[in-house]
Structure 1
Amino acid sequence: MKPVKRGLLLLLVLVFATACAHTNSGTMTSSGLDRIAQSGVLRVGTAANMPPLNMVDKSGVPMGLDVDLASYIAGAMGVELSLVIKPFPDLLPALEAGEVDMVISGMTITPERNMKVAFAGPYHISGKALLTKFKSLVTSEDISKLNSEAFAFTALESSTSASLVETMMPKARLVTAKDYNAAVDMVLTNKVDALVADYHVCVLSLLRHPNEGLVSLITPFTYEPLGIAMPAGDAQMMNWTTNFLNTMRQSDELIKLKIKWIEDPSWLSDLK
């Protein structure tokens, strides 16, 4: 080998080795797991107003499937859990700004969101349903019939439910709500014809208002995979969280959480 070529080869090896060293060092220091371990605190963003996934009890203490899942994760990491409560539209901006380590808040994994952040999961499969006082709306098997100027729908602001109305029922009037309590109140007071939300929200509303004449399309007409949102590019945290969720599935702990919060209504008496 000529001296010039040998020298060039050695230079490339050194550059590659240096790049790998910087990459490995950057990966280790940039992982959210390191920050979490050093601080001893896992910061999880949640809306705390999306029952039965996340809400507060009569004492103002957060509870729900998402809250329990966050507690499991913090426990497995050996750190304290700090729930950061923000309006749903502010959760992903908070994640991107580094204000929280992850978001667990009934958030559907969508291509648009996945372009900005990473998702582990899904940890639960949901779907959209209608909550209304009009049986004719829930007996219709053709969603295109709901696309009419005669209808007004409400949905949570910045949610996939709102996007569904805008995409599939563009002729209808959409009135967004800050939280589900406000949205259900619009239905109860006849300000809108129906609430579009995840099916378990509609089921919960039926249980909470048994004498208000509410009906719901219980069978979800969309596929909604709910995931844990994390900063983009953090492979270690993604790997850890994915493996943790797999362990919860295999041990049936995830199933137990779903039974506790979605199928068993005994916690309703604690709801604020």
Structure 2
Amino acid sequence: MYKIKALLIMGVAALFLCSCASLSGPDRGRSAAGHLARIVERGEFVVGTTGNMPPLNMTAKDGEVIGYEIDMVRMMADALGVKLKVKTMEFYELLPALELNSVDIVISGMTITPVRNLRFAFVGPYLHSGKAILAKSETIAGVSDATEVNSPSTRVAALKGSTSQEFIETVIPKAQLTATEDYDEAIRLVLEDKVDALIADYPICIVALLRYPDAGLVSTFTALTYEPYGIAMPPDDPHFMNWVENFLASMEGSGDVEYLQDKWFKSGDWIERVW
């Protein structure tokens, strides 16, 4: 099923590239020197991600990076006729890597925000999420308004450089914040009672419940915010952005989005590969 759909999308993408290549006029030379041409010439599509945000992206026991987003970009690489290269790094290092052209795109559960969009282009959203609370206390995890825990006695963790950290600093500034390098560290702090709660995007909290079913963890099931996930891209290449936009539309139309959502969000078959 995956291979058939990937081939269909590859055909659509190849047709689009051929159509663009046939255009005449002064824009032709500029497009040829753009990111798409360099990716094809290089034979490699370099993607930046954290590799620790399940089920979006995560590192399996054998070292392979897998997940919803990784399947997406692998389909993109197939459509481009090149190999996929995944570069993992800390979340706060992703956009600087894109700025330095160390990666072609960034995809890692990254919320589209006005501040980020000032410096980078974003295509999407390809998923919608929201902030949720992971805790051992049902009282904390069950709040409907985050300001209920805006107290110096509340200890919270969030991923460094994320919108969760920004949310805490803006909405509950009185809480004691611990900014962590990755989600595993943040979840461990909750498990060891070193913080009262983790504030993160909803999928992260749900996966934590699946990983530690007997640890007494609870999480809110009503998102505290709206978080549209987008693909971060260079701001100076409309052709590249247009290609990715059309590719995402093709995925939606072909049924691949539904297939990937079933695979990574409704089935837990992948869990044993990671933990």
2:32 to 20, 23, 28: 28
Deviations 1:55-110 (A, max 9, x none): 11111111101111110110111111011111111111010101110011111111
Letter of the 1:145 partner, please give it.
Answer: E
CA offset at residue 25 of structure 1? 3.0
**1:140 aligned residue:** 143
**1:13 aligned residue:** none
CA offset at residue 122 of structure 1? 0.7
1:152 maps to 2:139: no
1:127 maps to 2:136: no
Alignment partners' CA distance in 1, 2:31 and 2:270: 42
**1:254 aligned residue:** 257
**1:180 aligned residue:** 183
**1:1-272 aligned within 5 A:** 21=26, 25-29=29-33, 31-272=34-275
Letter of the 1:208 partner, please give it.
Answer: R
Question: Structure 2 length normalisation: TM-score?
Answer: 0.89
Alignment partners' CA distance in 2, 1:163 and 1:92: 16
CA offset at residue 233 of structure 1? 1.6
Alignment partners' CA distance in 1, 2:262 and 2:204: 15
Aligned residues: 251
Alignment partners' CA distance in 2, 1:89 and 1:194: 21
SS at 1:106's partner residue? coil
Unaligned segments of structure 2, at least 5 residues: 1-24
Unaligned segments of structure 1, at least 5 residues: 1-19
Contact 2:145 2:224 in 1 (8 A): no
SS at 2:55's partner residue? coil
Question: Structure 1 length normalisation: TM-score?
Answer: 0.90
Deviations 1:144-179 (A, max 9, x none): 111111101101110011111011000001101111
Letter of the 1:26 partner, please give it.
Answer: R
Give the root-mean-square deviation of aligned CA atoms. 1.2
Letter of the 2:75 partner, please give it.
Answer: Y
Letter of the 2:248 partner, please give it.
Answer: L
SS at 2:52's partner residue? coil
**Between Structure 1 and Structure 2, whose CA radius of gyration is higher?**
1
Letter of the 1:67 partner, please give it.
Answer: I
Alignment partners' CA distance in 2, 1:139 and 1:89: 29
Deviations 1:209-242 (A, max 9, x none): 0111100002211111111111012100000000
